[in-house]
Structure 1
Amino acid sequence: MLVPLLLATAALAAAQNTEPCAEVASLLDSSSYYIPAQVAFQCLQSVPVDVEGNKILIDELKIAWQWNSEVGYLKNTPDDWELGPVDIEAELDKIKENLSNYASEYEVQRAIQDIVTKTGNYHFNYRPDIIQVFDFKRRVGVVSISEDGKKLPKLYVENDAFNLDIGSVSEIAKINDEEAYEYLQKIAKWGQYVDADGRLNKLFSKGDTYALGTFESQIHYDGASTNITFANGTTATYANVASSQESFTGVTDGPSFFEAFCTGALSSTFSATAAGDVVDLQGEPRFLNGKSQIPKAYHLRKRQTSKTSAISVVEADSGAVSGYFLQGAGYENVAVLKILNFSPDGDESGNEFQATIKKFLEECIEAKKEKLIIDLRENGGGAPSLVLDAFMQLFPDQVPFSAQRYRAEEQWTAIGDAISEIHNSPTLSAAYERRVSYRFDEAWRYWAYWHFVTAKGENFADWKAFVGPEEFNGDSYTAVSRYNYSNSDRISILVDDFYFLNTTGRPTPFKAENIVMFTDALCGSACAGLHEELKNIAGVKSVTVGGRPENKPIQAVTGSKGSEVHRVGTLPEFGSAILSITSRIGAKVPTSPKLQQLANITQLIVRAGDSHTRIQTQDQLRKGDTTGTPLEFIYEAADCRIFYTGSTWWDPNLAWKAAWDAFVDDTKCVEGSTGHKSSISGGFKPFGPGDLDDANLAKPNQTTEGPGPSGTAASGTPSPKGAGARLSVGGGALVVGVVAAFAMW
């Protein structure tokens, strides 16, 4: 099976005899959408290093990246942290010291990007102008398929995988002359997930939603072509291509490329205000995620009969959430709630999302369904208000926890000191209202401690009680905080026009022991938040599909487990705004040297000021974990691992049934994947909805020895005390409750 190269080699030959950027301009001018990947890469490699500009850029990154909530834990990671430690400031210094040794500007920016990639957290991104110019793609996808869902899987070309259950096709033996899985593991390291299972699953094509994997939709350039050798001895060669949405008019070589794309035209444009503008940054960044939607009639596949295909109960127009009833012997009582993301397109308030789940659960109760699959595959996150609302609809008598903290570093605390002074002074507050156009509480929400509550659900006495600092793992943090869950508080969590449902008196539609989460390890951000509430509060188990071809456990969540995210370009706005405002209204002007540096950042805005470059400013913490270890650094195995088969990979009906079968009968799980001590089936004790007392709070001066691989709270995860607080959000009363970080997980 020899597949010819789809692009003429003449273009490559021409590029070797001319300036590659000029060749790119010529190809794009000739209406070519795709150009040879190698020509695009050669163009990038011809851009000269901006040594002086990069010295400034790196110094500015060292200031901005101090807001990263994980700086201390990244330096001193737990022993079971697969990626190992990374000192982001030291890594930046190494690049700065060696700027003259890089062959191109592209190599410098890739080296900086590699630092954030090493963290495994897709809330922490660096994608400057030069990396945005081209998108690379290979014209073939790959999938990982097991014979029966338990045997170790083999690799197949995507198009072949659709025919596995009706004919004989050959698996992939080698990719570019390397053993196939080893090759994939190598390029998977470009992905930002906490372990190799998630990074591999991100590479694979998705048969049911048709989402491209990052093997096909490449993160970086990976050669001029892709050569695949099959087990039957045949080979195929596929051209790797590139595309660009930018105009190359006037671009003739590397220096003119720099002038066109690296001087502010691409990355310095953003519409942030001092309010932070995090609403559009929900979940996994779209340039990494290729956000998909649930296809219409998702449950109806061509080889299903009317008696075996699921029944559609409700489907949101956004394609983010839908509900089904399974059919067939043994599945008559099983319902499926599929949540593909928590950032529904065209449903900015989330009201349709909320109404879809409400309608689905009402139909489940009416039909007397008792068992539920919550399908979270591909869910990269979104709005935490929707996560919390979904949890409360599922468990109306329980209060989710959702606790966070900031890194209490110099810049952040200096801003908070000023905000606290203004808030507590009627004179300064009045002066602010007269002179500043945007509302104080909204603009400075992250420091507005009066809208937050403590881990125990009590009001913070003052700014000092909120800011701490408290020391964990050799770094300083604010106190653990939760959020005001009342519909009358529009600052903490709720977006415009969205209100939590009044859950008082609503029935619990399913028992926790009859619910299973079905993930593909790509769950992260807001999805990780839902997983945490379902697991540690409600006690729901999980089944996870895919990953490495190993007879070992797999984590249900390998995406980011952090909370709030900012585009880095907004941080200088905070700095300059607070310095200006305090001066204008007669408040104490912050004297922090680092805050002054932040306010005067310029090169970072020019090169990476848009939403492609982000930073996580909050950790998420587990209820009852006295070590205070961020969820990001806690290993959590699923209760069971399965692999896709030739049918379950593309047919959601069969995938749901396979997940349910494994949930109720662990002999259908992959050998060696069950019973890990961090899973509920292996002994993890959920804290439950009960109240926290002082003995269960995070204790400062803890190191990374905390929960370790078990993920169990060091206090012994006490049993829930009583029924826990009962939510009553509809009437607008202040509830000792929770929210998550405003608009971003």
Structure 2
Amino acid sequence: MYYLFALATAGLAVGSPLQPRQSDPCTAIASKGWYKPSQVLSCLQSFPYNETLRNNVVDVVSKTFNFHTSVSFHLNMPDPFTDDTVDIQGELRRIGSTRYDSDFALHQDVSKNVKRLNDGHAGYINYCYDSLFVTYLPFPLAVLARPDALDVQNIHIVPEASTVATAEFGSDAVAKWQAALGRNLTDAIDESAAISGGYQAKTTRQNAFFSSYQRATTEWSYRLGDFAQWSLPVKGDSVTLRLVRNGTNTEETYTVPYLSRAGSSTIAFTDAKSLWANNCVATPSTNGASYYNKVQAKTKVAADKPRFQPDPEIAPIINGRRQPISSLVADGPLFDVSLPSRLAPPTSISGSGALQFYLLDDKKTAVLVLGSFSGSFAGVQKGILDGINNVKAKGATRLLVDVTNNGGGYICLAAWLHRVLAGPGPGTEPQPGLDGSVRAQDLAQKITAKIVANNTGVDPSGEMLYNPLSWRDTNSKRFPANFNWLDPAINMRINDVPDKFSQKIGDDCIPYDLTPPATKPFEFDNIAILNNGRCASSCSLFTISMRTKYNVKTVVVGGKPGTTQQYCGVVGGQSLNFAAIDSDVKTAGLKNDPLAPSDFIGDNYQGITWKLGYSILDQNKFEEFQTHPAQFAFPLLPSTVNNPVALWNDITKRLWPN
């Protein structure tokens, strides 16, 4: 293991204006293998700028953002989220009048500015470029404390780095890295946090720089961190590391190459033409379709889950009602790397997929691992009940809930876990979730008016987002079919800009599919929620409810020393995407309305926060813009980093020493 003293990176690869192409740079990277990032970049930059594509992207993204709840708030964000201030519609207008050297340069401008929102629900992806090739460095990092002096923390290359590199990248790549065997690292962390997007809190984006683990559907997965993995090949071909080996004071310098390989979802190609045809053109899943156009619906059979996303693009109807989703948009593969077997926990007592239950050696502490709120809707509900019953039968009196890197999923699964752990009472009845509002801009009002005027004619099966039959009031009473819940809109003035929102609506998670317990299974003092700050969407809804209503313990591990860690981020209330909005627009017969976004020409994806939840402590404010500092921030140790069982035991001893 090395203590990473400092690093200096090569300058960004800079593209020049396109010249007549003598050869096709994409043919050189068509075969499976490892390539220099500059080779990949040459290919991506070879696609010429096209004004029609620029205008299309700007039209779709800007008009989709009219449904995004947070646009006006981002004009001047409150502390500690001031870094998230951006006029996204103003930036899109600028992009719409800018000429670029290449189509890739256009993509970079759109992507960088959308990421400035630091809202993981509002992610923008162009599958022609994002993670078409993934760029790696075999040095995942972590901030580790000295076991004998916890206040002494430094940035280290993690102990398992060589194991991960060999297992994941193979001997060929490792040989290249071994053969190879400026800037202050703090600056590199902050610069990464400034462009990575995803989370409002800067500390959480800083945490993304480092390696971590996550429970995936089929295995324990390993996140290399933003230092060691990139979705675009724009960091240059190498990085210079200045290292100090453990047990020495001597600084050593190495220049290590970045290496790129095709992403796991990239469709094979032989040249630029086939790359574009196979990866860059709109597919049946790119745009929406009328729910009642059988021809369109038939083409969307395979469009349930766009690449990189853990959940369907349009929330499915389960047991007669559409199950709302709140999850992050990913611009790269979520689970491409496995956690080394020596670090992975043993077989669980109970659970399946991303839901697993363990009992620690003290025989008092149960651990519920929940890598996401996705998966089988019925299976997760039953798995929670079965797991709690199993660990309690074995004597567990405490529960540690590990939601590390949980990016959300089904809102009602988060509500169900809240209800199960909290029991019946004012915090869970009549509903366990947050009241919320959606943005009520003109096109949304037109869609709702169309439905209300002829509900059985426009939406006979109750498929549409804006159908009043899909929603309840704050007393959990369902709206009638002829109730226009967006008219009158609530007029707000946000950062001196007028905006419109719907009336408050309740969540739609009751009645439950299963009978919840009559009593809470654990005392609240004996429940703690653990993560690395990267708990978002439905995960945030769950953790905020448990912390705010019942004062359960919240713990964040790792991260940049000397910072205030947030135990969750990107709260939202419900996330959607362009395809879902487009489906409502088309079903309402409003696609030709001047306010309606066009169809994407390319294979693009735009997410939004469609509904914002109100604060538990102040019903006049949205929870999204409140701060959520962790009660405890504990350092990682060489023995606990990316070692879940060792970490659980360490945290348990700190929280419950007796």
Q: Same fold (TM over 0.5)?
A: yes
The percent of aligned pairs where both chains have the same amino acid is 18
CA distance in 1, matches of 2:461, 2:637: 55
Deviation by residue 1:255-285 (Cα, 9 ceiling, x = unmatched): x589647872569745754499523876223
Candidates 360, 369, 372, aligned match of 1:341? 372
Residue ranges of structure 2 left out of the alignment (5+ in a row): 3-17, 164-181, 214-219, 245-249, 293-311, 317-324
CA distance in 2, matches of 1:546, 1:197: 11
- Check the 8 A contact 1:325/1:335 in 2, yes or no: yes
CA distance in 2, matches of 1:124, 1:324: 35
Candidates 397, 409, 415, aligned match of 2:424? 397
Candidates 5, 19, 25, aligned match of 1:23? 25
1:225 Cα deviation after fit: 1.4
- Check the 8 A contact 1:212/1:290 in 2, yes or no: no
Candidates 252, 259, 272, aligned match of 1:241? 259
1:525 aligns with 2:537: yes
Aligned to 1:415, the other structure's residue is in SS state: helix
RMSD: 3.4
CA distance in 2, matches of 1:268, 1:284: 18
Tell which deviates more after alignment, 146-155 or 222-231: 146-155
CA distance in 2, matches of 1:161, 1:224: 20
- Check the 8 A contact 1:553/1:640 in 2, yes or no: no
CA distance in 1, matches of 2:190, 2:550: 35
1:702-717 mapped onto 2 (5 Å cutoff): none
In the alignment, which residue of structure 1 is the partner of 2:205? 199
CA distance in 2, matches of 1:250, 1:24: 5
- Check the 8 A contact 1:325/1:334 in 2, yes or no: yes
1:172-183 mapped onto 2 (5 Å cutoff): 177-183=182-188
1:131-280 mapped onto 2 (5 Å cutoff): 131-132=129-130, 134-140=132-138, 141-148=140-147, 150-159=150-159, 177-191=182-196, 192-206=198-212, 209-220=221-232, 221-231=234-244, 232-244=250-262, 245-251=266-272, 260=277, 264=281, 269=286, 272-274=289-291, 277-279=313-315
Candidates 585, 588, 602, aligned match of 1:578? 588
In the alignment, which residue of structure 1 is the partner of 2:461? 440
1:313 aligns with 2:349: yes
1:597 Cα deviation after fit: 2.5
In the alignment, which residue of structure 2 is the partner of 1:591? none
Distance 1:47 1:133, change over 3 A: farther
1:391 Cα deviation after fit: 1.7
Aligned to 2:121, the other structure's residue is in SS state: coil
- Check the 8 A contact 2:34/2:260 in 1, yes or no: yes
Aligned to 1:336, the other structure's residue is in SS state: strand
Candidates 442, 465, 471, aligned match of 1:452? 471
Candidates 285, 292, 307, aligned match of 2:329? 285
CA distance in 2, matches of 1:103, 1:289: 28
Larger radius of gyration: 1
1:20 Cα deviation after fit: 9.0
CA distance in 2, matches of 1:378, 1:596: 40
Aligned to 1:440, the other structure's residue is in SS state: coil
1:600 Cα deviation after fit: 6.4
1:103 Cα deviation after fit: 2.4
Distance 1:477 1:396, change over 3 A: same
- Check the 8 A contact 2:452/2:484 in 1, yes or no: no
Aligned to 1:382, the other structure's residue is in SS state: strand
In the alignment, which residue of structure 2 is the partner of 1:536? 548
- Check the 8 A contact 2:222/2:335 in 1, yes or no: no
In the alignment, which residue of structure 2 is the partner of 1:65? 65
- Check the 8 A contact 2:135/2:230 in 1, yes or no: yes
1:601 Cα deviation after fit: 1.0
1:199 Cα deviation after fit: 1.3
Distance 1:263 1:373, change over 3 A: closer
1:495-644 mapped onto 2 (5 Å cutoff): 500-503=513-516, 506-550=518-562, 552-558=563-569, 560-579=570-589, 596-599=593-596, 601-602=598-599, 605-609=600-604, 612-628=605-621, 630-644=622-636
1:209 Cα deviation after fit: 4.1
CA distance in 2, matches of 1:421, 1:298: 62
- Check the 8 A contact 1:138/1:226 in 2, yes or no: no
1:289 Cα deviation after fit: 6.2
CA distance in 2, matches of 1:578, 1:217: 42
CA distance in 2, matches of 1:210, 1:218: 15
Distance 1:274 1:567, change over 3 A: farther
Aligned to 1:553, the other structure's residue is in SS state: coil
Aligned to 1:143, the other structure's residue is in SS state: strand
- Check the 8 A contact 2:486/2:501 in 1, yes or no: no
Candidates 406, 411, 416, aligned match of 1:384? 411
Candidates 116, 120, 123, aligned match of 1:122? 120
CA distance in 1, matches of 2:339, 2:32: 30
Distance 1:537 1:556, change over 3 A: same
Q: Report the residue type matching 1:476 in the other structure.
A: K
Aligned to 1:113, the other structure's residue is in SS state: helix
CA distance in 2, matches of 1:517, 1:284: 20
1:459 Cα deviation after fit: 5.0
1:49 Cα deviation after fit: 1.6
1:372 Cα deviation after fit: 1.3
Aligned to 2:637, the other structure's residue is in SS state: coil
1:517 Cα deviation after fit: 0.7
1:388 Cα deviation after fit: 1.6
CA distance in 2, matches of 1:20, 1:322: 55
Q: Report the residue type matching 2:646 in the other structure.
A: L
Distance 1:81 1:439, change over 3 A: same
- Check the 8 A contact 1:402/1:482 in 2, yes or no: yes
1:421 Cα deviation after fit: 1.3
Distance 1:396 1:36, change over 3 A: same
1:502 Cα deviation after fit: 0.8
Distance 1:388 1:263, change over 3 A: closer
CA distance in 1, matches of 2:384, 2:119: 29
Task: Write 1 or 2 for the structure with the bigger share of helix.
Answer: 1
Distance 1:419 1:150, change over 3 A: farther
Distance 1:651 1:225, change over 3 A: same
Task: Write 1 or 2 for the structure with the bigger share of strand.
Answer: 2
1:299 Cα deviation after fit: 8.1
Q: Report the residue type matching 1:479 in the other structure.
A: Q
1:373 aligns with 2:400: yes
Candidates 104, 113, 124, aligned match of 1:106? 104
CA distance in 2, matches of 1:636, 1:322: 26
1:95 aligns with 2:75: no
Distance 1:465 1:39, change over 3 A: closer
Count of equivalent residues: 570
- Check the 8 A contact 1:389/1:500 in 2, yes or no: no
1:638 Cα deviation after fit: 0.7
CA distance in 2, matches of 1:157, 1:297: 19
1:518 Cα deviation after fit: 0.7
Candidates 480, 496, 499, aligned match of 1:475? 499
In the alignment, which residue of structure 1 is the partner of 2:391? 364
- Check the 8 A contact 1:573/1:599 in 2, yes or no: no
- Check the 8 A contact 1:405/1:619 in 2, yes or no: yes
Distance 1:376 1:48, change over 3 A: same
CA distance in 2, matches of 1:476, 1:440: 28
CA distance in 1, matches of 2:279, 2:391: 55
